[in-house]
Amino acid sequence: MTEVPPTGFSPSLVLIMKAAPDAAVHRIDRSHRTPATKAKMAQRIVLTASEGVTDLHALMNAAVDEGHVPAA
């Protein structure tokens, strides 16, 4: 697992980050919609946001990219 350094996310960014996985999960194959894959997608959102990405659609796309490969 990738370590993400502590970052001060704004309250509005946290709301965006919370919305992104819910929307992104509907864009991956049903067979991949496991709790482990969803967790992997959420981790990708946090990592992407910590790199400075704050756009909902960009965070969703990053999560979908991660969700195309199911968690092991």
Render pLDDT for 28-44 as a digit per residue (tens, 0 to 9).
999 999 999 999 999 99
Distance CA 68, CA 64 (A): 6
Q: What share of residues in the chain are helix, strand, coil (percent, to 5)? A: 65, 0, 35
pTM recorded for the entire structure: 0.85
Question: Is the model's pLDDT at 1 over the cut of 80?
Answer: no
CA angle 60, 61, 67 (to 5 degrees): 90
3-state secondary structure of 52: coil
